[in-house]
Amino acid sequence: MNIDKITQPFTEIFPGDLSGNTIQRNTPKVLFSTVEPVGFENPETIIFNEKLSEEIGLGKFNENDIQFLAATNLPKNIKTYATAYAGHQFGNWAGQLGDGRAIHAGEITNESGQKNEIQWKGAGATPYSRHADGRAVLRSSVREYLMSEAMYHLGVPTTRALSLSLTGENVIRDMMYSGNPQEEKGAVVVRTAESFLRFGHFELLSAQKEINTLTKLVDFTIRNYFKNITSEGEQKYKDLFSEVCTRTADLMVEWFRVGFVHGVMNTDNMSILGLTIDYGPFSMMDEYDLNFTPNTTDLPGRRYAFGKQGQISQWNLWQLANALFSLIKDENFLEETLNRYGNYFWEAHDKMLCRKFGFDELRKEDEEFFTNWQGLMQELQLDHTLFFNLLEKLESISDIKTDFQKISYTSLDDPKIKKLEDFIQTYIQRSKTNFISKEESLDLMKKTNPKFILRNYLLFECIEEINNGKTELLQKLTKALENPYEEIFHEFSVKRPIDYNDISGCSMLSCSS
């Protein structure tokens, strides 16, 4: 790989702590600290994303690159660092946070001039590790590698994964915070994104009243990642905030489209570019449930439940607005922009649902239709993905009770079947008012509704296999996630098996997952 092309422009522009000291502490007035990865004696690469490597300008993999992928014996041009940020966690101000398990290698530019940041997750402690060791376990690393790539191929804005490597050492973790820590295999993921800047970076500088550095960071963000913004002065900061709001709303709509639940939408986990970032206790939704959260830490309040992700993203944007107020200085603009956010989100959300149902356009009566659909899905506990796959086959459905029972997580008695039949008749009548043909409607559905989603139970099985030295399922899942709108493996197009209902890691996870 072209490792020699990696540079560190961020550290040349912004103030940093250059001591290399990894003792966990506050680092006021700086945006990064230099750190050295811990280094591993016997790393082993499990999977490498060669397409992505070539796309971002790193090129092909050779055996000598194993050391780099495990952040070991790095060349002199790689000057590693971790960034500082702050954030609101579960609605409460948490103060300084930062890259606790992530260490930046720097930035690479491909032949088209596209820049991407590269970082390791799990390569050792930083000043921001908060009494942790900065390492990662195989379990969480497999989940992040596969899910970030699955989201990319689904068409959802996301960070991406370049490689997954075993470190050759064991790490002690208490998976469910139950007082039962156990040894697990350690691993490192190399992940990439145009930028890993979060709302929290801006919150940190605002809270510290480092307005000059905040201004420099915002200007840097616009110059590098929002090149469509050409205004000057205070207006460019307004334009930036408006664009961040739009990207964030669009991201939330995409999460709703594919049934993704992030699980921990703290402001430090919100990308300024509108990317899905930090895959922890996430889940693709099996049975449709607006109140579903995969995160045990989020119980019982369910702040980050599936159905709340739109309003939580708006709340997080309010915190970003507070952080940028010293630059924008227009309370009315910020309030009006954030008030419009809800209208924009819900209109985009309902237009997305129209595409899922194969409707040509959003109509006034569709709001009631969608509300009834949500109630039906929850009462009948229907599988979110499989429901739309079955709806595409509506004309060939021979027995509604039998076919829909296969995608329900409860028993469908006659009253429930009657409700389902009534809904389907309503759907058929609505579809007849389309100004597009049946073929065009079906094509719209097929492009919008995935055939394959990376369910937690599949990830659980894959992790178990890799722990036992096997990678067959890893390869199959990789092929399936790269083609999510096709049914390549029929065995993946089924609801979650009942045997996995109460297994940790298959439905509920903790923040350490």
Residues identified as active-site: 268
Q: Which residues of 219-237 are buried (b: 16+ CB within 10 A; e: fewer)?
A: ebbbeebbeebeeeeeebb
Q: In degrees, to the nearest 5, what angle opens at C-alpha 306 toward C-alphas 132 and 158?
A: 60
DSSP string computed for 350-370: HHHHHHHHT-SS--TTHHHHH
Kindly give the residue spans of alpha helices, DSSP state H, lying in 176-210.
199-207
Q: Name the DSSP letter for residue 198.
A: B
Q: What gap in Å lies between CA 117 and CA 109, rounded to an integer?
A: 9
Q: If residue 102 lies in a helix (H) or strand (E), which one and from where to where?
A: strand 102-109
Question: Among positive and negative, which fits the CA dihedral 170, 171, 172, 173?
Answer: negative
Q: Which residues contact 503 (CB under 8 A, 6 or more apart)?
A: 457, 460
DSSP string computed for 124-168: ---TTSSSS--BEEHHHHHHHHHHHHHHHHHT--B-EEEEEEEEE
Q: Name the DSSP letter for residue 295.
A: B
Residue indicated by tokens 């579809």? 431
Q: Is 398 exposed, middle or buried (0-12, 13-18, 19+ CB in 10 A)?
A: exposed
Enter the tokens of residue 135.
């390492």
Contact 248, 317 (CB under 8 A): yes
- Strand ranges (DSSP E) for 207-280? 260-261
Contact 157, 251 (CB under 8 A): yes
